[in-house]
Amino acid sequence: MTDILRLSLPLTAWLAAFSAVYGLQGLVCSDRWAEAGLDLTAGRIALTTAWAAAVALQLVFLVVLHSPRFTSRSAFVHGVSRTLAVAALVATLWTLLPVVTTSACL
């Protein structure tokens, strides 16, 4: 089971973070955000922070999967899980890049 978790966790975390940031962007652009007394600058800060946290989480996965304490005994699982962790890191960097490059609510 732990090998299955090694293989599935980083990309699942990307999917969760991606969906959560999309949801946060929806919230920032909704009336509820303004009703809470927050503006778009606060929204941009929240989105960027969420992106940074998602990237940091993926870096943690990479380090953990690389460490002898947590790595799999199977060379195959070790190799594939590290590849998937790199893929998840790249996906987090690329797919959430719009939080700093596009308008939030237009």
Partner 1 sequence: MNALRRHRALERIWASRPGWRGKLTTVNNNDIGLMFLSLAVTFFAVGGILAMLIRAQLATPRSAFMGPDVYNQVFTMHGTVMMFLFAIPLFEGLTVYLLPKMLGTRDLAFPRLSAFGFWCYAFGGSLLIVSLLAGIAPESGWFMYPPLSSTLGSPGINADFWLLGITFVEISAISASVEIVVTVLLYRAPGMSLDKLPIFAWYMLVVAVMILTGFPPLILGSLLLELERAFGMPFFQAAAGGDSILWQHLFWLFGHPEVYIIFLPAAGVVSTVLPVMARTTLLGYGWIVAGAITLGVMSFGIWVHHMYATGIPHMGLAFFSAASTLVAVPTGVQIFAWIGTLWKGRPEMHLPMLWILAFFATFVMGGLTGVMVAMVPFDWQSHDTYFVVAHLHYVLVGGFVFPMLAGLYYWLPHFTGRQRYFKLGKTAFWLIVLGFHGTFLLLHWAGLLGMRRRIDSIEPGSGWELINLLASVGGFVMAIGFALVLIDVGVNVAVTVRGRRNPWGAGTLEWAMPSPSPSYNLASLPKVHSRNPLQDDPDLPVRIARGEGYLGDPGSGLREILAVEIASGRPSCLVIFPTNSALPIVMAFVTGGIFVGMLIKIYWLVPLSVLGVAALAAWWAWSLGNRGDLGLQPVGHGLVLLRASEVARPPGWWGSLFLLLADGVFFGALLFGYVFLWTVAPNWPPPAWLEPGLSGPLLALGGAVLAFGGIRLADRAIRCNAGPWLGLLLSLAGLAALGSAAITVLARTTHDAHAYDATLWVVAGYVVFHAAVAGLMTVFLVLRAGAGYLSARRIGEARIVRLWIDYAVAAAVLGLGAAWLPEVLT
Tokens 């690329």 correspond to what residue? 94
Taking CB under 8 A as the binding criterion, the range among 10-18, 54-62, 63-71 that sits at the site for partner 1 is 10-18
N-to-C CA span, the chain: 45
Nearer to partner 1, 5 or 60 (CB): 5
How far is CA 40 from its chain centroid? 22
50 binds partner 1 (CB under 8 A): no
CB of 18 to partner 1, least distance (A): 5
CA gap 51, 12 in Å, rounded = 15
Task: Convert residues 14-33 into a mask of x (bound to partner 1 by CB under 8 A) and - (unbound).
Answer: xx--xx-xxx-xxx-xx-x-
